[in-house]
Amino acid sequence: MGPLVPFIVSEELSLVIAFFLGIGFGFTLEQAGFSSTKKLVGLFYGYDFTVLRVFFTAGITAMAGVLLMGHYGILDLSIIYVNPTFLNSALLGGAVMGAGFIIGGFCPGTSVCALAVGKMDALAFLVGAFLGVLAFTESFPLVEELYMANNLGQIRISEYFGISNIAFGFMLAGMAIAAFVATWFIENKVNKRETGISATLRNKYALSAAALFVVLGVVAFLPGKEDIINRKIAEAKRQQTCVFKEIAADKLADQIVSKYYTLNVIDVRPTEKFEEFHLPFAINIPFDKLMDRQ
Amino acid sequence: MKIEETNSAKTYMNPYLAGFLLGLVLLATIYITGRGLGASGAIKSAVVATVETVAPQHAQNTAFYKNFDNEHPEGPWKNFLVFEVVGVLVGAFFSGIIANRVSLKLEKGPRVTNLTRVIAASLGGAFFGYGSQLGRGCTSGSALSGMAVLSLGGILTMLAIFGAAYALAFFFRKLWLK
């Protein structure tokens, strides 16, 4: 079960993998045209929306993949890194980056790609970025308060709005497709052209969009790993192939209070969860370690 | 607006296909490492390493660098993002070679001089560098990777980046348009 680092893939090996993932990242960015500053800023003047298309498609693809892998228990969504939300610095930092984007014509990743194909303006951008980061690290005490203000923790946008991940996934996918259609018209208008779209290409786009919604639909409506496990447990219980003794919470509480010395409460949740809260006198043995007898 | 290209340069990949491939790379990264891609983090590593080499005394007396060392006991270079960005350089170069796009060039808007472009690029880079530290990641690490895991902060940062760039586009149009 993913993520593979640190238990299946070591930290050392992950550095080698990082290099190869970087190759994939750089290759696709350059293939998409992100090594050209004019193509990048085209987004802001309406003549070229490539950035929006690539960026949104990548985000949606990865998001759908993460949700699908989480649904089938291939990736543990509770331990992957969710960028923490510090409201003030997220918004202000973003705005400063936006200014940097329109003035400099790159963002850090794309400037690296542009430098790789020999763009000298990208080199200037990277030198500037180095100095900008240095200015931050040197002035950190001055901005520390702002940097730490309004910490909401590792919160997902779906949690913030009180909806499920997949519901937000559907919304984001819908927004992306609406944006793709709208920007196509804007681009034609700004460039004063009437580009048609061939029937085969149109069909391919429609199929891809349909595939996206099929994946999201699978996550939303088909039983996931947890559902399947629960169903198996329920089935075993019904057929009595396996004996379960269930106990009501208040009865357990009573027994713990009155004769805790005869009861062993083993908490099989992960250690972090155990440390958050646990029953009195409970012993923590995480589920995956339950079988290795020490 | 015409985009100048030499005759031999290949056209770019279909943007949706490129986006899909990029999404798969990002998904693989999340599956393997539990976190997304990035770029500005590597610049931060370079900055910390430089400060520690050039002014070791200063680095030892400054809380920020001490914290960084505590969080990165293996040193600033032995870092996922550093290796990844080296890969980005190689991958982009490889792509440029097969598409015949590698050449020394200064790309700029039609109305600006080379000097203006270099100054604007450096200034923009400085803004981006500063902002990426304040916002805990740039377009890759915060906005794109944040979107993939539905991070509230990542999506807000994305909106702020593109919102600000749109809001300011009018004032900097002479840098880019005819």
Q: How many CA within 13 A on the CB side of residue A44?
A: 30
pLDDT value of residue B2? 44
Extract the residue ranges of chain B whose pLDDT is less than 70: 1-8
pLDDT value of residue A247? 77
CB contact under 8 A, B107 and A38: yes
Contacts of residue A47 in chain B, CB cutoff 8 Å? 1
pLDDT value of residue A207? 94
Summarised one tens digit per residue, pLDDT across range A170-183 is: 999 999 999 999 99
pTM (predicted TM-score): 0.87
Contacts of residue B36 in chain A, CB cutoff 8 Å? 62, 81
B63 has a chain A CB within 8 A of its CB: yes
Say if residue A257's pLDDT is above 80.
Answer: no
Q: Tell me A267's DSSP state.
A: E
Query: In angstroms, what separates the C-alpha of A284 from chain B's closest C-alpha?
Result: 25
Q: For residue A264, name the pLDDT band (cuts at 50, 70, 90).
A: confident
Say if residue A290's pLDDT is above 70.
Answer: no
pLDDT value of residue B8? 65
Query: In angstroms, what separates the C-alpha of B97 from chain A's closest C-alpha?
Result: 8
Closest CA in chain B for residue A15: B80
CB contact under 8 A, A108 and B139: yes
How many CB contacts within 8 angstroms connect chain A with chain B? 547
pLDDT value of residue A285? 77
- What percentage of chain A reaches a pLDDT higher than 70? 96
CB contact under 8 A, B90 and A22: yes
CA A104 to CA A32: how far, in whole Å?
A: 19
Summarised one tens digit per residue, pLDDT across range A218-246 is: 999 999 888 888 888 888 878 877 777 77
Say if residue A144's pLDDT is above 70.
Answer: yes
CB contact under 8 A, B87 and A29: no
pLDDT value of residue A276? 75
A263 has a chain B CB within 8 A of its CB: no
Say if residue A125's pLDDT is above 70.
Answer: yes
Q: For residue A8, name the pLDDT band (cuts at 50, 70, 90).
A: confident
Structure tokens at B16: 């949706």
Residues composing chain A? 294
Q: For residue A260, name the pLDDT band (cuts at 50, 70, 90).
A: low
Summarised one tens digit per residue, pLDDT across range A35-88 is: 999 999 999 999 999 999 999 999 999 999 999 999 998 998 988 999 999 999
CA A249 to CA B18: how far, in whole Å?
A: 53
pLDDT value of residue B13? 94
Structure tokens at A165: 């991940």
CB contact under 8 A, B106 and A5: no
A137 has a chain B CB within 8 A of its CB: yes
CB contact under 8 A, A61 and B144: no
Say if residue A28's pLDDT is above 90.
Answer: yes
| φ, ψ dihedrals at A2, nearest 5° | -75, 165
Among B80, B129, B137, whose Cβ lies nearest the Cβ of A131? B129
CB contact under 8 A, B87 and A35: no
Say if residue A291's pLDDT is above 80.
Answer: no
- Classify the C-alpha dihedral B113-B114-B119-B124 as positive or negative: positive
A220 has a chain B CB within 8 A of its CB: no
CA B95, chain centre distance (Å): 18
Contacts of residue B92 in chain A, CB cutoff 8 Å? 26-27, 29-30, 35, 112-114, 116-117
Query: In angstroms, what separates the C-alpha of B55 from chain A's closest C-alpha?
Result: 12
CA A209 to CA A214: how far, in whole Å?
A: 9
Among A74, A107, A128, whose Cβ lies nearest the Cβ of B139? A107
Residue at token pair 């202000």: A92
Give A260 or B21, the one with higher predicted confidence: B21
